[in-house]
Homo-oligomer: A and B are copies of this chain.
Amino acid sequence: MNQREMQRLETRRTLAEHALRLFQEQGFDETTVDEIAVAAGVSARTFFLHFATKAAAAFPDHDERVASFTTRLGDGHSPGNPLLHLCVTMAGGLDPGSPTRRIRYRLLDKVSALRDEDARTDRDYEQAIVAYLMQAWGDTVETRVRANAIANASLGIARACLIASSKDGIDANEVCFDLMHRMFGSPFDVPLHSLKQD
């Protein structure tokens, strides 16, 4: 990797690090982009070369995660279907070894601006899931609605469980799995086959 690329990534990483720290220490609204930039040792203008919005700095790995999720759906590594994969991804995301993630989701529960950012995140996952389901079901008006509804519902479940896990430290995977199971059958593969001939 280039020295330039490394510098760039380092700047980005530093910005994200200080952003999350300041959000946690003194609150999201009470932190200005200027403060973050100064703390990271760069100019305020530079902040926006790395993040589109102030809130985006709290989720610096968003693009990678979505890309990883999407490509995994495309190749054979997806365990069964996207909904199950979503659960697995979620479970992985709750690795207790990552205090950063816990901080992030605890903030998420308090700061509405970050919930908005998170909702935007979800929309990308939603697109990936919808695309996957539509590819399996074919593109009709009916399947499109169904795919959107299922994607929305799944993400709603996943998000709620994720936040709960981070906040209360409980294992929400069971709840997540149970609700998914109810909606889509055993290993969540029901909609891929049986819903079709409804």
Contact = CB atoms under 8 A, between A and B. Distances in A.
A184 B159 CA distance: 19
Nearest to A176: B149
A149 B157 contact: yes
The prevalent SS among residues of A at the interface is: helix
A33 B150 CA distance: 36
Nearest to A152: B156
A145 B116 contact: no
A183 interface: yes
Interface residues of A, number: 37
25 contacts: A112-B123, A115-B119, A116-B116, A116-B119, A141-B170, A142-B170, A142-B175, A144-B164, A144-B168, A145-B161, A145-B164, A145-B168, A149-B176, A150-B179, A151-B160, A152-B159, A153-B153, A153-B179, A154-B156, A155-B156, A156-B156, A178-B198, A179-B183, A182-B182, A183-B183
